[in-house]
Amino acid sequence: MHGHHSPVPGDGPASGLLDQVEEAEAALRAAAERGRPGAPDGHAVDADPQEYFTALIEADQKIEPRDWMPDAYRRTLIRQIAQHAHSEIIGMQPEGNWITRAPSLKRKAILLAKVQDEAGHGLYLYAAAETLGVSRDELVELLLAGRQKYSSIFNYPTLTWADVGAIGWLVDGAAIVNQVPLCRCSYGPYARAMIRICKEESFHQRQGFEILYTLAHGTPAQRQMAQDAVDRWWYPSLAMFGPPDRDSVHSAQSMAWKIKRFSNDELRQRFVDMCVPQAEVLGLRIPDPNLRWNPERQSYDFTPPDYAELMRVISGDGPCNRQRMARRRRAHTEGAWVREAAAAYAAKRAGRGPAATRPAARDGRAAA
Amino acid sequence: MDHLLALGDDALVAAQRLGEWVAAAPELEEDIALANIALDQLGAARMLLTYAGELEGAGRDEDALAYLRDDREFRNCLLVELPNGDFAVTMAKLLFLAAYQLPLYTALSGCADERLAAIAGKARKEVAYHLDHARLWTLRLGDGTAESHRRMQSAVDEIWPYTHELFQPDPTAPVDPAGLRAEFLAIVEPVLAEATLTRPADGWAPEGGRRGLHTEHLSYLLAEMQVLHRAHPGARW
């Protein structure tokens, strides 16, 4: 976004992925224009609901909230969308950790806006989950009770300013690689939320890349800070794609339902292939001695992340799991009296009827 | 340049305090709203400090002024540097700050200094939203539950004395804040009344911020804000 640095070729590190988001958006519109198979009004009264559901999926039409869907499809989506929403909310913490210490006012403003976007993404995703018949309050309770997960990556600490850059470049980069295919997810509200989110994420990734580029081309201490951050975030970012395909429990059914379009290992490979040339532009080293181009596969060979560590972090024993959950619970508990007051006030206003709105209007004029 | 530092430092320190709320607000919508208000204040601070540095003519930019001055050189009012407290204290601070900034920016938007008038014209629209946000929360908390009423009254009582400093006379400034107290009261008193809150009596009136005599809190706030920038002298970010 700042031309004088000009570190990023083309439209940015994720520009190819952004094209795919645009294509997904066009496909969504095209599907809507084609109309649904065998039911001009969208509701086939006579058809067997299971068959109709399958026909919609096969025709690359979107499943909408009022459509019949198998319980397992609904449960899978609720689990996945909620986990995604929780990740946005918990993900505010590691980056929010640097808002008060951002090293320039411009960086402070960019970081505040980014963390605010994450809260906004959390809101759209909770709204998408609510279309499946579960309330945001229930989902928040499940998170706070430890019964629903969030992305394990946010259980690592942000120890230096460069970590904010590394999160933008690697973590948001991995998130985009994961999420771009979700723009074609068979469930309409989720696909539409993902299109919007991916566009903003690509902007965040570019900002993270720019932070690292500036550090890598700064003082020796800044350069060292940048390399240290990449060294610490590389493998946890690779682990964001989940366990290897041979161990992935949810994948096959999700692929059949077109919730998921590519396997964990395919997406991980795509991410590595995207990052290597970007690391060269940054002038930073990816901490993998086995990283090399494989001409036969037309991809990079690389060392996989430590999946045992991933499992430990998922099960609660990462460096910051306890801290992240404690902070979320504290905000929730300490805010309870505020939410109760807002509900009590709204109830009083409803009880008083329209006359109660007059003083507010008068104050509005006084304030203007 | 002192009047620009007073405006810019008010906005910067207010943004810094609001930034502390991120990921800790009572609900998700409020995380977004507080970040929004912090961004507005930060944006105004950047324009005001940049302009102050240019007028000074010593080559200081917004970051030199924000990161390389000590607390004795800051010109913000005491109100903005006070700790966030609970959500009621934060809303009391925001209500009083916005009810001061709105008439101030409105008057400045018509002042002879065109650059300052343009900054104030933009900030005025943003501050009108801040005031509305704080007003609605003051009503909800004041007229919500017994606990929220108690907390909001306590917050108003705690912060009210710091509002006097906002209207200290400054005849050299383009708009003398001394003339704005009546407008401030015309905004704030009806909100407190509708929120079933008691408007505190005037009395103790702590001051000193505009002369660089702050509370003990500011030095800690700056220590946190400036730590990284100062650890790498001359670095670009």
- Assign A32 a pLDDT band (cuts: 50, 70, 90): confident
User: Does B236 map to a domain?
Assistant: no
What is the mean predicted confidence (pLDDT) over B168-197? Answer: 97
The answer to whether A258 and A161 are in contact (CB under 8 A) is no
The set of residues, in sequence order, having a beta carbon less than 8 Å from that of A315 and lying 6+ positions away, is none
Q: What is the ipTM of this complex?
A: 0.98
Name which of B30, B31, B218 to mutate to probe chain A: the one with the most chain A Cβ atoms within 10 A of its Cβ: B31
On chain B, the residues whose CB falls within 8 A of the CB of A346 are 140
Supply the CATH number for residue B189's domain: 1.20.1260.10
User: Does B42 map to a domain?
Assistant: yes
DSSP character at residue A292: E
Q: Measured between CB atoms, does B217 come within 8 Å of chain A?
A: no
- Assign A38 a pLDDT band (cuts: 50, 70, 90): low
Residues 94-123 of A with CB under 8 A from B: 96, 99-109, 112-113, 115-116, 119-120, 122-123
Amino acid present at B128: A
Q: Measured between CB atoms, does B16 come within 8 Å of chain A?
A: yes
What is the mean predicted confidence (pLDDT) over B133-156? Answer: 98
Task: Give the C-alpha distances (Å, rounded to integers) separating B198 from A179, A352, B140.
Answer: 52, 22, 15
On chain B, the residues whose CB falls within 8 A of the CB of A340 are 144-145, 147-148
Option in A101, A102, A221 nearest B232 (CB): A221
* Residue range A126-167, pLDDT digits in tens: 999 999 999 999 999 999 999 999 999 999 999 999 999 999
- Nearest chain A CA: its distance from B12 CA (Å): 9
User: Does B168 map to a domain?
Assistant: yes
Q: How far apart are the C-alpha atoms of B105 and A177, rounded to whole Å?
A: 45
Query: Residue B5: its pLDDT value, please?
Result: 97
Task: Give the C-alpha distances (Å, rounded to integers) separating B172 from A94, A124, B42, B52, B120.
Answer: 45, 50, 25, 15, 18
- Assign A237 a pLDDT band (cuts: 50, 70, 90): very high
pLDDT(A368) > 80:
no
User: Does B237 map to a domain?
Assistant: no
* Residue range A324-345, pLDDT digits in tens: 999 999 999 999 999 999 999 9
Q: A39-43, A314-318, B212-216: which range is least confident on average?
A: A39-43
pLDDT(A304) > 90:
yes
Question: Global pTM?
Answer: 0.93
* Residue range A97-137, pLDDT digits in tens: 999 999 999 999 999 999 999 999 999 999 999 999 999 99
Run of H or E including A210? helix A188-216
pLDDT(A92) > 70:
yes
Q: How far apart are the C-alpha atoms of B59 and B53, rounded to whole Å?
A: 7
User: Does B14 map to a domain?
Assistant: yes
Q: A28-37, A51-60, A77-86, A103-112: which range is least confident on average?
A: A28-37
Q: Measured between CB atoms, does A365 come within 8 Å of chain B?
A: no
Query: Residue A43: its pLDDT value, please?
Result: 53
Q: How far apart are the C-alpha atoms of A282 and A268, rounded to whole Å?
A: 21
DSSP state string for A172-206: HHHHHHHHGGGGG-SBHHHHHHHHHHHHHHHHHHH
pLDDT(A359) > 60:
no
- Paired with A20 in beta bridges are none
Option in B46, B186, B228 nearest A103 (CB): B228
On chain A, the residues whose CB falls within 8 A of the CB of B151 are 337
Query: Residue A108: its pLDDT value, please?
Result: 98
Locate tokens 């700056």: which residue? B222
The answer to whether A191 and A24 are in contact (CB under 8 A) is yes
Q: Measured between CB atoms, does B237 come within 8 Å of chain A?
A: yes
Q: Measured between CB atoms, does B84 come within 8 Å of chain A?
A: no
Option in B26, B190, B236 nearest A363 (CB): B190
Q: Measured between CB atoms, does B156 come within 8 Å of chain A?
A: no
The answer to whether B228 and A158 are in contact (CB under 8 A) is no
The residue of chain B with its CA nearest to that of A117 is B32
For chain A, what is the mean pLDDT?
90
Closest by CA position to A268, among listed A295, A290, A235: A235
- Nearest chain B CA: its distance from A208 CA (Å): 12
Tell if the CB–CB gap between A340 and B236 is shorter than 8 Å: no
- Assign A292 a pLDDT band (cuts: 50, 70, 90): very high
Domain residues for B186? Answer: 2-231
- Assign A6 a pLDDT band (cuts: 50, 70, 90): very low
Task: Give the C-alpha distances (Å, rounded to integers) separating A99 from A164, B18, B45, B102.
Answer: 10, 10, 16, 26
pLDDT(A69) > 60:
yes
Q: How far apart are the C-alpha atoms of B92 and B87, rounded to whole Å?
A: 9
Q: How many domains does chain B have?
A: 1
On chain B, the residues whose CB falls within 8 A of the CB of A338 are 26-27, 30, 87, 141, 148
* Residue range A187-223, pLDDT digits in tens: 999 999 999 999 988 889 999 999 999 999 999 999 9
N residues, chain B:
237
Query: Residue A319: its pLDDT value, please?
Result: 98
* Residue range B30-86, pLDDT digits in tens: 999 999 999 999 999 999 999 999 999 999 999 999 999 999 999 999 999 999 999
For chain B, what is the mean pLDDT?
97
The residue of chain A with its CA nearest to that of B225 is A101
Closest by CA position to A213, among listed A201, A199, A227, A200: A227
Q: What is the 3-state secondary structure (H, E, C) of A49-75?
A: HHHHHHHHHHCCCCECCCCCCCHHHHH
Q: What is the 3-state secondary structure (H, E, C) of chain B?
A: CHHHHHHHHHHHHHHHHHHCCCCCCCCHHHHHHHHHHHHHHHHHHHHHHHHHHHHHCCCCCHHHHHHCCCHHHCCCCHHHHCCCCCHHHHHHHHHHHHHHHHHHHHHHCCCCCHHHHHHHHHHHHHHHHHHHHHHHHHHHHHCCCHHHHHHHHHHHHHHHHHHHHHHCCCCCCCCCHHHHHHHHHHHHHHHHHHCCCCCCCCCCCCCCHHHCCCCCHHHHHHHHHHHHHHHCCCCCC
